[in-house]
Structure 1
Amino acid sequence: MAHDGGMSADVAGILAAAARGDFPAPDGSTTVLPQPNARDAGVLAFTAHSVVFLDEDPEWIRAELAAACPDPLAASMNPRFLAALMARTGRSMNTIDLLTVAGALPGAPEIALREIADQEHPRVARALAYRDEVRVWVADGGMVTLGRGVAGRMEAAVEVDEDARHRGLGRALARAARHLTPDPVVWAQQSPGNARSVRAFQAAGYRPVGGEALLTAH
């Protein structure tokens, strides 16, 4: 499906540019692009510019945007618009995430980690539902996961055991992902309401670039 909205880049190109600090024009418009693959669909919201990547008619998408909210700066993340996308596609979504990115760091992580090699391990299997090329490392009290998510970007996620919280472990695991990534940058999403996670990733050097609502088929 040909894209609509005046931008020549695909989703991967837009993300790569955003990681460099080169964002879509803040003109209040919405770019509509095809999905990068069968799994990945959703909405990206940057400053005064949104990107909908979904294999649906761009005219229908724009009509739903206009009907959902009179403010073009807010329409793409309006619950009414997102509900229309889910109803149309049969997909679901969990939350609107804060999308962050950080550059890779040289050398080994500063925290002791052990990689889980078993692809049948429950933590690995769970991550494979959303990402490809998944690798999981565990530390005393937590874990860090890397895998290729939206449009092939390398994504990090961390988990900290309840009895290991308030010791800086989340920050250390998030920073470890920057050492472990094979790519120039690593991405991470946090629910805006999870202030603890937001603080941990920003303390580890991740910077906010926008918001994201992913539509999942499972």
Structure 2
Amino acid sequence: MGTELADILDAAAQGHFPAPDGGVTVVPQPSSRDAGVVAFTAHSVVFTDENPVWVRRILASLDCDPLAAAMNPAFLRALLDRTRRAMDTIDLLTVASPLAGEPPLDLTEVGNADHPRRIRAGKRRDELRVWAADGGIVILGRGVAGRWETAIEVDEGHRGRGLGRALAAAARHLVPDGQPVWAQQAAGNARSVRAFQAAGFRPVGAEALLTESGGAGRGGPVSST
């Protein structure tokens, strides 16, 4: 397994995961912006610039199943207090391979979009690009450890028609350089989870992203960050 978060994520995108040994790997933050936890099957990765000795001491002190310790609320609370950061939800982390050809719907790229979804995404991702469709938008940008991430949003009047699935599928055609594209969905956002899985995104784990103070919150019920 790689020793940097980007290496671990790249391997996971190809279907190669940390050994399901109940362990926790602690790696440095890939940037000053991004810290948090990714939980794979029976193995978690904590990415933080805090002392690994402190991380392991807190984990060992918890009265809980060791397999779930890194996502235990007590550990996340301690990490938030230690780093003076904030978080929203624990997300389902999904990934999809790129697809050749044009997206399955008409899109228009827009610059300097003032859509609230773009504003929120701009606080967590770099190199943002935004496309508008009739009734929704799709966003691509570089997020955690430089990975390409997508977010979508469907307008209220266009929900229930498969547009979310089409927007998520479009991201697979739009991602540059033949790279995989990642997406996070709040676990309770069933519409978003269904849309991304129908578009070919496969679950790889869970992610708790710790944001710097003032970070943006989650969107509506058919959106994905």
* TM-score, with length taken from structure 1: 0.94
Q: Could you give the per-residue CA deviations for residues 143-175 of structure 1, whole angstroms, max 9, x where no partner exists?
A: 100000000000011101111100000000000
- Please say if residues 59 and 75 of structure 2, whose CA atoms lie closer than 8 Å, have aligned partners that are also in contact: yes
* TM-score, with length taken from structure 2: 0.91
**Partners of 1:62 and 1:39 in 2: CA distance:** 22
The amino acid of 1:128's aligned partner reads G
Fraction of identical pairs, as percent: 67
Cα distance, 1:155–1:169 mapped onto 2, change above 3 Å:
same
Matches within 5 A, 1:110-189: 110-118=104-112, 123-182=117-176, 183-189=178-184
Residues 1:70 and 2:69 are matched in the alignment: no
The amino acid of 2:203's aligned partner reads P
Residues 1:214 and 2:209 are matched in the alignment: yes
4+ long deviations beyond 6 Å: none
Match in the other structure for 1:34: 28
- Please say if residues 69 and 78 of structure 1, whose CA atoms lie closer than 8 Å, have aligned partners that are also in contact: no
**Partners of 1:93 and 1:123 in 2: CA distance:** 17
Residues 1:104 and 2:98 are matched in the alignment: yes
| 5+ long unaligned stretches in structure 1 | 1-6
**How many pairs align?**
212
Match in the other structure for 2:189: 194
- Please say if residues 40 and 214 of structure 1, whose CA atoms lie closer than 8 Å, have aligned partners that are also in contact: yes
**Partners of 1:80 and 1:68 in 2: CA distance:** 8
The amino acid of 2:137's aligned partner reads M
- Deviation of the 1:72 alpha carbon: 1.1
**Partners of 2:63 and 2:87 in 1: CA distance:** 20
Match in the other structure for 1:48: 42
- Deviation of the 1:119 alpha carbon: 6.0
- Please say if residues 134 and 148 of structure 1, whose CA atoms lie closer than 8 Å, have aligned partners that are also in contact: yes
Bigger shift: residues 128-137 or 118-127: 118-127
Cα distance, 1:56–1:171 mapped onto 2, change above 3 Å:
same
- Deviation of the 1:120 alpha carbon: 6.0
The amino acid of 1:91's aligned partner reads R
Cα distance, 1:194–1:111 mapped onto 2, change above 3 Å:
same
- Deviation of the 1:125 alpha carbon: 3.3
Q: Secondary structure at the match of 2:96?
A: strand
Q: Secondary structure at the match of 1:73?
A: helix
**Partners of 2:93 and 2:147 in 1: CA distance:** 12
| 5+ long unaligned stretches in structure 2 | 214-225
Match in the other structure for 1:4: none
Q: Secondary structure at the match of 2:187?
A: coil
Match in the other structure for 1:60: 54
